[in-house]
Amino acid sequence: MKRLDWNALDPAAQLQALARPAQSRAEELRRGVEAIVAKVRAEGDTALRELSAKYDRCAIDAIEVTVEEFAAAEAALAPELKAAIEEAAARIAAFHRESAPRPVAVETAPGVRVERVLRPIAKVGLYVPAGSAPLPSTALMLGVPAGLAGCREVVLCSPARADGRCDEAVLYAARVTGVHRVFKLGGAQAIAAMAYGTGSVPRCDKLFGPGNAWVTEAKLQVSGDPDGAAIDMPAGPSEVLVIADGKADPEFVAADLLSQAEHGPDSQVILLSPSDALLDRVAVEVERQCAALPRASIATQALAQSRLILVDSLAQAVAVSNRYAPEHLILQVTEPRALLDGIDSAGSIFLGAWTPESVGDYCSGSNHVLPTYGYARSYSGVSVASFQKQITVQELSADGLRAIGPCTATLAEAEQLEAHRRAVTLRLAALEARA
């Protein structure tokens, strides 16, 4: 990991210190995804089978997972894994249920009632990656809030293995969360299928879930098409930023950095600390722990574009973190809650020595589908609200219109919208005539 002193850098160098690995939206990628999307739209299921053979190296006959495949997956899983999936789902549901939006009704003036009602997005598509490693946890993170929101049709796509079947744990997690249908599809073709529909895959209104550069590019393309589908958020490679003081345990800090570095070669991890000695100890510990990881080669590539940064205080560390807006922020300091009020941009925050980021990935109850690549400045992670529409309702009595009608008419006149003004004044005149 590159070692830097924040206060020795000029503004340009500071900007470069917080630069993410170049996001892969090269022209070749864009054109490749466009071709896949167009092929799926034109050829439907035939294209899906061809593209699965080409990119996932598997032959799929029935695109949709069958009842028999769900049963076989459940039978194949170890009891302790099934129990862990169910335990995690229960905690995720408990948090998401309590944090879900609530209907609101307010009388803003006598006789003027304004409400907010909630309606589920009717058809949603969930994408669960299974490239270098299948992610049943993502099925939980997406399936639980979709179910709580009451979405009428929830479909899930996840790539098939070489044997033409989906990962057993992903299927079990989908079943536990109440996903309605699962399809053996991956990559940009899965996104296109859910966005536009095929003979087998229903067209969805909104798409959710992380993925590689092809999946991300496909999501961006279909969300920019009026005939496509909305998406949960823009996203990039996984990342973590750790703020640690001189009393932090370097073994813990290194483990947290590596837990994100092993995601992929384009992941990024950053450590900010006012302690030179802590940075030294963490650098040694990262090297020691990384050597023992099964995914050491992947983590090593990620570490090559990661940073150990010396700051002059924890307050400056918070300022730098807000500028970076990390997907995951870990506060490994003596009094983490003392820093919390100062954090305004982060996907999810982990407080103290006993809160590894891993628990948020799996089973603390929060969601791990989070904005990355700096989008935490303006986006939030997936929640029940992500699967709902919030619709406002207003109802006025005659006295209510008398109370706020003149205000409406004055503002409409100021905007030179005469029809707007008359829609009110005609009614006011009618009420006056009846008095």
Residue 415 known to bind ligand: yes
Give the pLDDT score at 134.
87
> Alpha-carbon dihedral of residues 269, 273, 275, 280, nearest 10 degrees?
0
Give the pLDDT score at 22.
67
Q: What phi and psi, each to the nearest 5 degrees, are found at residue 211?
A: 180, 180
Residue 327 appears among annotated catalytic residues:
yes
Per-residue confidence at 234, pLDDT binned at 50, 70, 90?
A: confident
Maximum CA extent, the chain: 87
Given a cut of 80, whether residue 236 has pLDDT beyond it is no
Report pLDDT digits (tens) over 10-47: 999 999 999 988 665 678 999 999 999 999 999 999 99
Above pLDDT 70, what percent of the chain? 99
Active-site choice (69, 168, 327, 357): 327
Per-residue confidence at 61, pLDDT binned at 50, 70, 90?
A: confident
Give the pLDDT score at 103.
97
Above pLDDT 90, what percent of the chain? 91
Instruction: Please report the sign of the dihedral spanned by the C-alpha atoms of residue 197, residue 199, residue 202, residue 207.
Output: negative
Give the pLDDT score at 102.
97
How high is the mean pLDDT of the chain?
96
Place of tokens 């700051």: 311
Q: Give Cα 431 distance to the centre of its chain.
A: 51
Give the pLDDT score at 237.
82
Given a cut of 90, whether residue 118 has pLDDT beyond it is yes
Report pLDDT digits (tens) over 300-345: 999 999 999 999 999 999 999 999 999 999 999 999 999 999 999 9
Residue 260 known to bind ligand: yes
Structural domains in the chain plus CATH codes: 2-19+236-365 (3.40.50.1980), 27-100+119-231 (3.40.50.1980), 397-434 (no CATH)
Residue 180 appears among annotated catalytic residues:
no
Report pLDDT digits (tens) over 134-178: 899 999 999 999 999 999 999 999 999 999 999 999 999 999 999
Give the pLDDT score at 410.
98
Give the pLDDT score at 299.
96
Residue 420 known to bind ligand: yes
Q: What phi and psi, each to the nearest 5 degrees, are found at residue 345?
A: -145, 105
CA distances from 65 to 38, 167, 204, 318, 429 (A): 25, 11, 18, 47, 64
Bridge partners (DSSP) listed for residue 395: 113
Q: Tokens for 166, please give them.
A: 């989906």
Give the pLDDT score at 173.
98
Between residues 358 and 212, which one has the greater pLDDT?
A: 358
Give the pLDDT score at 24.
55
Report pLDDT digits (tens) over 205-229: 999 999 888 998 999 999 999 999 9
Give me Rg for the CA atoms of the chain. 25
Active-site choice (69, 328, 357, 368): 328
Residue 55 known to bind ligand: no
